[in-house]
Amino acid sequence: MQKLEEKRLSHEVAADSTAKVPVSVIIPVRNEAANLPRCLEALREMGEVYVIDSQSTDSTVDVARSYGAQVVQFHYQGGWPKKRQWAMDTLPLAHEWILLLDADEVLTRELAREIAQAIQNPKVNGYYLALRIHFLGRVLRYGDARFWKLSLFRRGKGRYECRLKSQDASMADMEVHEHVIVEGATAHLRNPLLHHNTESLSHYIRKHDEYSNWEAQVLLQNEAVPGEIPPSLFGTQAQRRRWLKKKIFAIPGSPALLFLYRYLFRLGFLDGVPGLIYCSFQAVQMFHTKAKMYELRSKKD
């Protein structure tokens, strides 16, 4: 009798270990062969994984397929939708829940188990995930580096806001600082998503050059786009950041102020040299955006 019970339990454990979490994962990529193995290895328990490629010139496609991911090519011609929203609108997703990840993000076992439990709640349509940023070999704990993003939601209940209609390939082919808007209740998951922020500093700089092209255009708009998340000091983290950014951009010397705020007042110096570089890059990013705003104004005069 005892042996039969042990055999039954062993079968249950085996069934649990092979069960897939009914979630469709979407990963936008371009030349991410170095990051993808770490990302995809952590997704073996997910129901399905789509890698949306933008004509990578490295081994990204081969790496993705070697892990069983489905690879789809995205050819951006400008405008809207961009990469993630296009994938959500176009792919024959098999599951009710969508998880949006980047190639440099890694799902922990604890977070995977929490997701499996969370998606069973019929009252919640979306979940915010906390990013734990790894930068130059160190976890950043200060400098205002930790933030939340709404990455897990029911299919058909979440869509990206569009902050700029007239976009082109110089502004990146996927959503930059647009956010997912979810119909219905949302909640926060406890376990963090690991975010390895940089493959190399050169890669980081090239990527953020495209981001500043987009942000300069957005900040020069005089009117809000319908459906855009409004900036608010007392709203979500995304709304607070957007409100503060709008205010601080108008201040002379704001890149220097941003550096002092992150590095001194938000204790970025406690993260050592990586903290110094991270806070400096955030300030440089703001400077690039302001310089490009000036350039765009000059062309209109």
Residue at 262: amino acid letter: R
| pLDDT above 60 (res 250) | yes
The confidence band for 9, taking pLDDT boundaries of 50, 70 and 90, is very low
pLDDT given for residue 275 in this prediction: 96
The confidence band for 223, taking pLDDT boundaries of 50, 70 and 90, is low
Contact 173, 73 (CB under 8 A): no
What is the domain partition of the chain in residue ranges?
2-198, 206-300
Q: What residues pair up with 132 in beta bridges, in sequence order?
A: 194
Backbone dihedral angles phi then psi of residue 199, each to the nearest 5 degrees: -75, -40
Q: Which residues of 281-298 are buried (b: 16+ CB within 10 A; e: fewer)?
A: bbbbbbbbbbebbeeeee
Arithmetic mean of pLDDT, 228-257 = 82
Arithmetic mean of pLDDT, 37-42 = 96
pLDDT given for residue 104 in this prediction: 93
Q: Which one has a higher pLDDT value, 197 or 28?
A: 28
Arithmetic mean of pLDDT, 199-206 = 82
pLDDT digits (tens, 9 = 90+) for 46-63: 999 999 999 999 999 999
| pLDDT above 50 (res 200) | yes
Instruction: Give the contacts of 238 (CB within 8 A, at least 6 positions apart).
Output: 148, 149, 179, 229
Candidates 89, 75, 79, 70; CA nearest to 27 is: 70
Arithmetic mean of pLDDT, 81-93 = 96
pLDDT given for residue 249 in this prediction: 82
Q: Which one has a higher pLDDT value, 257 or 77?
A: 257
Q: Which one has a higher pLDDT value, 199 or 9?
A: 199
Arithmetic mean of pLDDT, 61-79 = 95
2-198: in CATH 3.90.550.10: yes
Mean of the per-residue pLDDT values of the chain: 88
pLDDT digits (tens, 9 = 90+) for 89-127: 999 999 999 999 999 999 999 999 999 999 999 999 999
pLDDT digits (tens, 9 = 90+) for 12-34: 333 344 579 999 999 999 999 99
pLDDT given for residue 224 in this prediction: 65
